[in-house]
Amino acid sequence: MSQLRKWLVEPDFIVVRDPERCIQCQVCVRQCANDVHEYDSDEDVVLSDSSDCVGCHRCATLCPTNAVSIKRAELEFRPHGNWEAAVLRNLYRQAETGGVLLAGMGNDQPAPVYWDRLLLNASQVTNPSIDPLREPMELVTYLGRKPDMLEIEARGVSPRLTTTLAPQLELRVPVMFSAMSYGSISYHASIALARAAAAAGTFANSGEGGLHEGLREYGDHMIVQVASGRFGVDVDYLNVAAAVEIKIGQGAKPGIGGHLPGEKVDAGVSATRMIPEGTDALSPAPHHDIYSIEDLRQLVFAIKEATGYAKPVAVKIAAVHNISAIASGAVRAGADIVVIDGFRGGTGAAPMMIRNNVGLPIEFALAAVDSRLREEGIRNQASLVVAGGFRSSADVVKAIALGADAVYIATAALVAMGCHLCQKCYTGKCNWGIATQDPYLTKRLNPNIATRRLVNLLNAWAHEITEMMGGMGINAVESLRGNREHLRGVGLTDRELRILEIKAAGE
Amino acid sequence: MKRIVIHEEFCIGCRLCEIHCLVQRSKSKKIIKAFRFEKDQIVPGVQVEQSGYVSFALQCRHCDEAPCIEACLSGAMYRDPETGAVLCDTDRCVGCWMCIMVCPVGAIQRGAEKRVASKCDLCMGEEVPACVANCPNEAIVFVDDNDDE
Amino acid sequence: MNQRPGPMRQKDISSCAIVGVMSEAGRRFDGTAIMRAIAIMRDRSNGLGGGFAAYGIYPEHRDHYAFHIMCESIDAQRNAEQLVSRRCTVHHDEPIPIRQVEAFHTRPLLHRYFVSVTAEARERNYGLSDDDIIVRVVMDVNASVDGAFVFSSGRNMGVFKGVGYPEEIGEFFRLDEYEAYTWIAHGRFPTNTTGWWGGAHPFGLLDWAVVHNGEISSYGINRRYLANFGYHCTLQTDTEVITYLFDLLMRKHNLPLEVACMAMAPPFWSQIDRMPADRQRLARAVRSVYGGALLNGPFSVVVGRARGMIGFNDRIKLRPMVAARRDDVLYIASEEAAIREICPEPTELWHAEGGVPIVGELRDEPVAEVAG
C-alpha cells in the first residue's frame, strides 16, 4: 500500500557503509525493523536507504566486521540562532501530517543538568575516610511511614518495643526500577526488571499496564501502580504486590495521562490491561475520582482498606511549580511514600511539546519538598523517592544528600538492557526488543541476559555509592540522607543556592 | 559430555552463527578474507531454520546413538572419545550420502569442494564453539549434560 | 571575645582531650585532680579552648537553675537579664569568681544567676515542663541577644570554659575551690580558630554537659533532624548536636540509655540479622525511625548529667577512650596516662567498646559533706 511521499521530511541519520569491510552477510538487513538495508543479489551488495533510519545502532552493533556506522544527516541548514535544524524538521513533519508531534524517552533539550553543578565532599585529616573494601558500608533503606518517636518498655534487663511500625519496604540498595508499563515495554523487559529487582533486594514498579500473570511470582518485589486509567486494577492485583503506587502524574508529561498506541496492544497486553486488542490505551488526564486533595485521601485509604493496611501506599507526582504544597498535601492525605518525577523523566509516548516544556528539574523539586516537609515537622511521615533522568551512582548520592530516601531509575535501566535512545518507542518498532510487542523483535531481548545486565548495573552502582560514602567518612546511608553539608554548588546563582540550601564551593 | 543446546525462544534469526562457523572453518580465520576469498568453498556446520518469527540454529546433535555412524559404509563417521562428538574422517568418506539420508534432523550437508559429508564438529575441541561464542542473544549455549540445566 | 560564627561559616572540628571523673557514692571533691588529669594531655590541645563541668557545686541553690552567662558588654548583659526575667525569677546573682591568669588578655563578662520559672510563665506555657521553658529561655537569649551567651543552665551544676589551655581555665575559674561529685573536662585543638569563649567545650544545656573528641560526618542531617523538634543549632559545633540529641532522646522521648545509644551508634545490619527476634524488631525500628540521630564519623564523648556520667564511642571505634574504676570512683579519659596521673593503681582498667556506653550512676542522693 503506497502512501504519498512526505517531501518535506528529510532523513535524520545517514548510514555509512565501508565497502572494504562489508562482507554482504546481511545481518543488518535481517535486523533492521525499519527496512533500511536491502540486499541486491544481482550486484551482490547491501544497499542502505537512510530515510527511515532512526539511529538505534542495531545494525552497527551486530555487524561482524564493524562495517556500518550511523551519522547525523549531512544536509546542513544555514546556521540560525532561533530557527534551529530540529525546529525546522518539526515544522516540516507537522506540515506533512497535521498531527501532534510524538516523542519517546525523556526531555532531550539542553536545559542545565543541575546534578553536574553539585559537587561532593571527602574527608581528610580532621575526619578519616572509611575504606569500603575493609569496613562495613550500609545501604539498607526502609521506605514507609515512620513515627516521631518510639515507645519502649524498659522491662528488667532488656528494653522492649511497644510501638508497631507502619508497613515498610526494605531495600538493600537505595535504587529501584521506575514505572514502565507492560505494553510500553515488552513482556521480556518487564520480567527482566522484576527478576533483577528480586535478585538485588530492591523493587520494580509495574507501571500502569497491570501485572501480567508471569510476574505475580515476583510480587514481593513489585510495586503496582494505580493510574488514571486503572488498567488491570483489581483486588488481587493490589494484594499480590509489596506496595501500591497511585500515579497522579509523571515527569515526562505532567498534567496528561498515559498513551499506548494501538500497534502495541497485542493479545498479552490486551488481557493484562483488560482492553480490546489493537485499541489505543489512553489514560485520562486526571483521575476522574480525584478532583481535590481530600479525594486523594479517600483513594489512599480505599486502597489501604482493600489491602488490610498491610502495604505502604505511595503517591507519585510530577515536579511542577507548587510541588512543595502538593507533596505536603499528599503526605497529609495518608501517603506513606511520595514519589516525585522530574522533567527529564522518560516515557514510551508523549507529545513532544509537553515532554520538552512542562515540569521542573528534580534537583529543585527534591530540595524544596524535603525542606518544606521538615519545616512542617512531617518529614518522617513519608519517605521521599525521586525519579527523572538519573544517569549514574553520583547522581544518586547527590540526590540522597539533598534529602531523598531512594531513587527510581528507568531510562538508565533500559539503556543497561540495550536501549540506544533513538526516541521512537511509540512506533512499536524497537530494534532492541524493549519497547515493542512485535514477536520478531521481542525475541531479541533475552530476559536472562537483560536480568544479568540490570543486576550488574545495580551492583556497580552500589559499590560506587559505598566508595563515595566512604570518602565522606560515612558508613551508613542514614548519615548521607539529607546531609546537605556534603554538597557544594558550582555555577549556581545565589538564588539557586538558597533554594537548594547548599553552600557554594569555597564556603 | 559438553553439548550445544539451542534456545529457540531467543533466536533472532540474525545468522551470525552461520557466519562465524564459516570463519572458524576457513583457512585464514579472518572474517573479511574468509568471505571475500573462501566463501564458496566452505559449508557452515550450522544452519538457521526459520518460519515467521520462529527460528533456531541447527547443528549436528552428536546423538548418543548416532544413526549416521551406523549407516556409514566406509567407517568414516566415528565418535571422538575425548569430546564425545561425532566426527567425519574425510579421508575415508566416499560421498555415498547415506548419513545425509538417515540423519533425523538433517544436520549433514554435502561438502563444497570435495565429495564428502560436512557437519558440525564442535569446533574440534575449542574451549567454546564459534556459534556459541558469537550468538548475540545466548540462543546457543554450551553445557555439560551432567549438570542440571 | 570575638563574634560567634555566622550560620554559613565552616563547621568547627573537635580534636582534643577529654576526661571525666565521678564518685558514684556522691562524694564531692575539688577540681585539682581533674585539672592534673587534663593537663597531662596538653599536647592534644593547642591552647585555644578548655573547659570543665562540675556537678553538685551549688548545694545551697540546688533547686534553682544556675545560668552562667558570658557577655561582650554591660549592655548585652542587661539585655540578657531582661529577657531572662520575663519568664524567670532571679533569686540570686553575682559575677563568677575568677583569679587573674597571665595568659588571658581579653575575656568576656562572666556572671551567674540562680533562677526558677515564674508561675505566669508556667501558665502561659501550659503543656511545657519547667525544663522545656528553661530550654526556650536559653535558646532565645543565645539566638536574639547580641553579644550574650548562656553557656550553662543546669541545676546544682555549672560549666566553666574559655579560650586557653584547660588547666589555665581551671586556674582562672578557681575550680580548686569547688566541690563536685562529677567533673568532666576538655582541651581543644580547633581548626576554625574563632577565639570565641563560647566555642569551647563542654557544651551545656540544662543538666547535660558534653565534651567531645572527633568529627561528626553526619552533622548536616543531625542538625536538620533536631530542627524538626525545635532544637536550633547555632554554633556550628558537633558537640551542640550531640547534647541536643541526648536531651531529645532521653528527656523528651524517654528512651532508656541503651536505646538512645542504639540510635546514635547503632549495631550493623549484619549484627542485627543475627539477633533474637524481639531485639531484632527493636533494633530495626530504632534504626528506621531514628536514622537522623545516627552519629557517623569518629567520636569519643563524655556526657555529664545530674545522675552521673556516660562515656560513649562511635560504632567503629575511631577515637580512643579508656575507663577505670577504683573504690567508688569511675574514670573516663582519652588516654590511660590521664587516669594514672590521678589514680596510679585502678582496680580495673579497660578500653571502651564501639557503640557501648560506659555508665556511671549515683547510687543514692549526693552527699552534702566535703570528702577527704
With bands split at pLDDT 50, 70 and 90, how would you rate the model's confidence at A118? very high
Are A202 and A75 in the same domain? Answer: no
Domain residue ranges in chain C: 15-57+156-361
Q: Check CB contact of C232 with chain A, cutoff 8 Å.
A: no
Mean pLDDT, chain C, as a whole number?
89
Question: Chain B, 82-111: which have a CB under 8 Å from a chain A CB?
Answer: none
pLDDT in tens, C77-89: 999 999 999 999 9
Q: Check CB contact of C256 with chain A, cutoff 8 Å.
A: yes
d(CA C263, CA C261): 5
Report the gap between the CA of C316 and the closest CA in chain A (Å). Answer: 9
- Which conformational region is residue B66 in: left (phi greater than 0), alpha (psi within -120 to 50 degrees), or beta? beta
Here the CATH number for the domain that contains residue A359 is: 3.20.20.70
Spot the catalytic one: C16, C71, C88, C343.
C16
Whether B36 and A23 lie within 8 Å, measured CB to CB: yes
Q: Which residue type is seen at B91? A: D
DSSP state letter for C49 = -
Mean pLDDT, chain A, as a whole number?
93
User: Average pLDDT of A406-419?
Assistant: 97
Question: Chain C, 307-326: which have a CB under 8 Å from a chain A CB?
Answer: 316, 318
d(CA A22, CA A15): 13
Cross-strand pairs, A158: A155
d(CA C73, CA C109): 7
From A71, A99, A127, the end of a domain falls on: A99
The domains of chain B, with CATH numbers, are 1-59+120-149 (3.30.70.20), 63-119 (3.30.70.20)
- When divided into structural domains, chain A yields a total of 2
With bands split at pLDDT 50, 70 and 90, how would you rate the model's confidence at C318? confident
For residues C264 and C295, the answer to whether their CB atoms sit within 8 Å is yes
Are A375 and A488 in the same domain? Answer: yes
Report the gap between the CA of C160 and the closest CA in chain A (Å). Answer: 26
ipTM at complex level:
0.89
Q: Quick one: pLDDT at residue A410?
A: 96
Number of helices followed by number of strands (H, E) in chain B: 5, 8
Out of A122-131, A284-293, A320-329, C309-318, give the one with best mean pLDDT: A320-329
DSSP state letter for C161 = E
Cross-strand pairs, B118: B109
> Domain span at residue A28?
13-99
Q: Quick one: pLDDT at residue C5?
A: 53
Report the gap between the CA of B95 and the closest CA in chain A (Å). Answer: 29
Residue C91 has pLDDT above 60, yes or no: yes
B-chain residues near A62 (CB < 8 A): 14, 16, 136
Which chains sit next to A, with 3 or more Cβ pairs under 8 A? Answer: B, C
DSSP state letter for C367 = P
Q: Which three cell numbers stand for residue C352?
A: 571502651
C15-57+156-361 CATH fold: Glutamine Phosphoribosylpyrophosphate, subunit 1, domain 1 (3.60.20)
Q: Chain A residue with minimal CA distance to B7?
A: A446
Question: Chain C, 171-210: which have a CB under 8 Å from a chain A CB?
Answer: 191
Q: Quick one: pLDDT at residue C193?
A: 52
* A230: Cα separation from own chain's centroid: 20
Q: Considering CB atoms only, which of A23, A439, A440 is closest to B31?
A: A23
Q: Considering CB atoms only, which of A147, A154, A380 is closest to C256?
A: A154
Are A89 and A205 in the same domain? Answer: no
Here the CATH number for the domain that contains residue A89 is: 3.30.70.20
From A40, A69, A99, the end of a domain falls on: A99
Q: Which of B6, B9, B10, B12 to mutate to test the interface with A (most CBs of A within 10 A)?
A: B12
Q: Quick one: pLDDT at residue A2?
A: 67
**Three-class SS state of B70:** helix
Q: Which three cell numbers stand for residue A74?
A: 549531512
Whether A482 and C11 lie within 8 Å, measured CB to CB: no
d(CA A362, CA C238): 31
Q: Check CB contact of A118 with chain C, cutoff 8 Å.
A: no
A-chain residues near B6 (CB < 8 A): none
d(CA A66, CA A49): 18
Are A91 and A183 in the same domain? Answer: no
Higher pLDDT, A267 or C189: A267
Q: Check CB contact of C13 with chain A, cutoff 8 Å.
A: yes
Q: Check CB contact of A439 with chain B, cutoff 8 Å.
A: yes
With bands split at pLDDT 50, 70 and 90, how would you rate the model's confidence at A285? confident
With bands split at pLDDT 50, 70 and 90, how would you rate the model's confidence at C191? low
Examine chains C and B and say if they touch (3+ CB pairs below 8 A): no
Are A391 and A250 in the same domain? Answer: yes
C-chain residues near A136 (CB < 8 A): 268, 270
Whether B138 and A449 lie within 8 Å, measured CB to CB: yes
Q: Check CB contact of B25 with chain A, cutoff 8 Å.
A: no
**Three-class SS state of C149:** strand
Per-residue burial over A313-337, b if 16 or more Cβ lie within 10 Å, else e, is: bbbbbbbbeebbebbbbbbebbbbb
Q: Considering CB atoms only, which of A65, A439, A444 is closest to B31?
A: A65
Q: Chain C residue with minimal CA distance to A377?
A: C228
From A83, A99, A115, the end of a domain falls on: A99
A-chain residues near C287 (CB < 8 A): 142, 478
Whether A446 and B14 lie within 8 Å, measured CB to CB: no
Locate cell 573547659: which residue?
C51
pLDDT in tens, A258-284: 888 888 899 999 999 889 999 988 888
Are A474 and A370 in the same domain? Answer: yes
Whether C221 and A480 lie within 8 Å, measured CB to CB: yes
With bands split at pLDDT 50, 70 and 90, how would you rate the model's confidence at C11? low
Q: Is C71 a catalytic residue?
A: no
d(CA C167, CA C173): 10
Q: Quick one: pLDDT at residue C368?
A: 40
In a domain, A131, yes or no: no
